[in-house]
Chains A and B, each alone.
Chain A
Amino acid sequence: MNMIVTSATPATPNGTTRPQVRIVIVGHVDHGKSTLVGRLLHETGSLPEGKLEMLKAVSVRRGMPFEWSFLLDALQTERDQGITIDTTQIRFRTNSRDIVLIDAPGHAEFLRNMITGASQADGAVLIIDALEGVRDQTRRHGYLLHLLGVKQVAIVVNKMDRVDFSADRFKEISDEISAHLKGLGVTPTAVIPISARDGDGVAERTDRIGWYKGPTVVEALDHLEPARPLETLALRLPVQAIYKFDDRRIVAGRIESGSLKAGDEIVIMPAGKIAKIKTVESWPVTPVATRQGAGRSVGITLDRELFVERGDIIAHAGAAPRETRRLRARIFWLHDKPLAKGDQLLVRCGPKESRATVVAIEKAVDPGELESSENKAIGRNHVGEIDISLSNPIATDPYTENPRTGRLVIEVSGRIAGGGLVLSVDAGQRAVPVDIVPVESALRPDERSARYQHNGAVVWLTGLPASGKSTLAKALERRLFTNGGSPILLDGDTLRAGLNSDLGFSAADRSENIRRLAEVATHLARNGHIAIVAAVSPAREDRATARRIADTTFREIYVATPAEVCESRDPKGHYAKARSGALQSFTGIGNDYQTPQGAELSIDTSTRTVADATDAIEQMLKASGVLFDEVVDLAANI
């Protein structure tokens, strides 16, 4: 069956462009949404040839009177149940607009589908049965429109034929709903009396509503404005991915607000690192010189190698979003299990995700109730304000400052369970990035490498406790230094005594420990030194993070000494302590060490001498371009 009307695109060959607006029709179940849609399609001449006749024939065949809503209820299952299940998109034209009409179900069971539909809309039509008046789902939908950020709302009072086209009844409903919406900060663009079944007020002001002087539904739709890109707000480019398909390192994402171009000074949040946009990449033509505005999916390269990852936000220096571990949001909840204080969640803010804990819940109410009492938890299809604490810092804006980045969704068990607006963020203690001006080194990299005869590198030794990492690290340090190089040893335990003394041994703290080690080591490598890191680093994911941070300078060495050999060595007595239960969270006993899969080198110290192992490392560093081969004195050959 083909219910959807194929309409022309705004980009017609003769060059005319008509604004396209997406509309959602919402309201209480059975107040006449589908009927209105069917009628609108008919009144705007948008039905496929023969469709009306065909459906009328089907109705006769099934022994039911024809209803306008049949046009929409295309699914067999829907007709059987007599309710619209899901969001259907229909296109038609008014005088000056191409309208994409998203029908959203009124049944409370399907609120998630109403939200899916309404979130895509530029404007909404809220429909109310003149006989029944404002109902719980009317109020709920009104509230959700506000939360979803739909500001253009036209009210349609339907089934006026059932109240004898009474102007008084119309005014009563109009006053009630207008007051409700104004309380939420939404001003209706129009309130229109109609009979969708008979056609009054849809495209024509008939005599029966002669007392009404406002626009018809079609006229009201004709006045809706398409969404405008947020070019005039501050730049926000959330990073979707970093691509290295060739020698370019492209940071890809969609500009949510503001604009950018090559040469712009940017800051990468939440880390607060500063860089310049080197190029704006594209395909098939690249690079792009023109400024790129909100709404564009772009790719940029930076003037320096920085650790950037999915979820970071790129902003202009001086106008960055706030970095926070704690925020307050007004949310709607769709999950069966009510959201309660202490619940663990996954929060997504654009491409950024973070584990989170609900710290407090306030104003939890059913938006459908007129005077609802506050609850401790936010039930299904209810709303409320929550304070959440995030396990990773994220960069975000209050929604009043940026409607795109100031919103989030909540996932439970991998499924979207709610969403809402960021009301406020607790800014962290980090220095304002605009005050951070990295000082460029006075030396060029080639000046350093000419002296040391090597490039900068991070040599990362991972393996079980007592596998021989520190011994190898020291031997390598000595070897490189003897050859005139500049090695610097970063021992995991040594750093824990100072820089990382605030960290314990939880999974999160271990990750942070590794991240800091990697950042320090990478800084040294960027300045021409060979940073030798000796750290158990048991988690594959943490080592992957280190590799991302150090990027091309990273060389992983797996010290693959068998576990029983390590335990028999036990120079620090840790294995013995752990066996006796005196040492918790000790890697080595149990299976918590994740073996590397892509290490540049693997060394079993139980089968070879220290000197032999150091040779192997030196060999690998030569082969992979860190150490230069024997010095060739070019001058001597002249």
Chain B
Amino acid sequence: MHLLKDDSAAVGVSSPALIGRVGAQEFSADLPPSMDHLDQLEAQSIYIFREAFARLKKIALLWSLGKDSNVMIWLARKAFFGRMPFPALHVDTGKKFPEMYRFRDHYGKEWDLDLRVEPCPPIDAVDPTLPPAARSAARKTEGLKMALAKFGFDGLIAGIRRDEEATRAKERVFSPRGLEGNWDVRDQPPEFWDHFNASPPQGAHLRIHPILHWTEADIWAYTKRENIPIIPLYLAKDGKRYRSLGDQDITNPVNSTASNIDEILIELEQTKVPERAGRALDHETEDAFERLRVAGYL
């Protein structure tokens, strides 16, 4: 028997946190309500938002109009008690679905957002050696760089998640970008105990990722719990739905019968198809995504 402690001891956390737990239960009438998984995710995201707002001079939230960035806006409003105190930046490829533009114009007003819509440069301005979808995404990166130069933001809040894509799993919560907007995956500063590196060098900027620790299913469960509006394209119609929304010409729907969020959650429980399967970009070459990210793509 090489188990050094018996099972009951093995599961205990010998943290000073537990000392006095028995005593506290005497006042059980006034114990705080316990936090579930979504509560914990929410509290962590709010913490990150408040750190970004406190430590950086000029930040903006990248609003892609998708489910993730809508959850982010909701979290920001929670963090700041109703209104997001910095701009929502939509870097517009001009190729989104009409439903997405309608959503933007409607909720931009309803949520009282300081909405900034910035166009992308024409496709000829982009590295022609990239495969078509990657080239299209690189165009968005260029649009982002132009917006950065125009407004001088030192922090951009982006809704990427670790579970989406392997290279994103390597991200920090506060992720420094070089002067060219590039990401140096090999030289990322340490980040622990919710202490973030918030001092970008002069002229460079930070990407801040408040929902890095969420999963696709978390996003849906939270969207449902908080009743956050979504673009109907996510729900199945004629046996197909979008799991991830990008440009019209490089995003494909997946086979699905999930016509509401509960059904999406059940579908996610069973599927082994990755979320970005409908994104042409992710399938072009093994390293296209990483090349893009190093260059500053989200």
Contacts and interface: CB of A to CB of B under 8 A. Distances in A.
A536 interface: no
A295 B16 contact: no
Given A2-B166, A187-B4, A297-B46, A77 B16 contact: no
Nearest to B271: A6
B105 interface: no
B266 to A, nearest CB: 6
Contacts of B77: 283
Interface in A265-300: 281-284, 286, 290-297, 299
Nearest to A242: B54
Nearest to A213: B1
Contacts of B189: 112, 415-416
B2 A231 contact: no
A190 B54 contact: no
Contacts of A282: 78, 81
Given A6-B216, A77-B185, A259-B32, A299 B54 contact: no
A507 B155 CA distance: 30
A310 B268 contact: no
Interface stretch (A81-89, A322-330, A459-467): A81-89
A223 B7 contact: yes
A257 B4 CA distance: 31
Contact of B2 (A214, A228, A291): A214
Interface in B171-195: 172, 185-186, 188-193, 195
A98 to B, nearest CB: 9
For this complex, into which size category does the number of interface residues on chain A fall? Answer: 35 or more
Contacts of A113: 188, 190
Contacts of A48: 272-274
Contacts, number: 278
Interface stretch (B34-42, B91-99, B245-253): B34-42
Contacts of A450: none
B37 A75 contact: no
Contact of B272 (A49, A89, A152): A49
B186 A351 contact: no
Interface stretch (A12-20, A478-486, A609-617): A12-20
A8 B265 contact: yes
A238 to B, nearest CB: 10
A286 B82 CA distance: 10
A11 B80 CA distance: 26
B282 interface: yes
B50 A240 contact: yes
Nearest to A88: B169
A220 B287 CA distance: 36
Interface of B: 1-5, 7, 10-21, 23-24, 30-40, 42-44, 46-47, 50-51, 53-54, 77-83, 85, 162-167, 169-170, 172, 185-186, 188-193, 195, 197, 199, 215-218, 221, 225, 262, 265-266, 268-269, 271-277, 282, 286-287, 289-290
Given A75-B185, A240-B47, A403-B15, 16 more contacts: A2-B166, A6-B268, A9-B218, A10-B37, A11-B37, A48-B273, A89-B163, A187-B4, A187-B5, A187-B14, A228-B13, A232-B18, A290-B32, A292-B32, A403-B16, A407-B193
8 smallest CB-CB distances across A and B, nearest first, come from: A293-B32, A414-B199, A119-B192, A74-B166, A112-B190, A2-B274, A297-B46, A9-B217
8 contacts: A4-B164, A5-B272, A8-B268, A213-B3, A283-B82, A286-B81, A310-B54, A416-B191
Interface of A: 1-13, 17, 20, 47-49, 58, 74-77, 85-91, 112-113, 115-116, 119-120, 148, 151-152, 170-171, 174, 178, 187-193, 212-215, 220, 223-225, 227-233, 240-241, 243, 245, 248, 250, 252-254, 257, 259, 261, 281-284, 286, 290-297, 299, 310, 334, 348, 351, 400-403, 407, 409, 414-416, 419
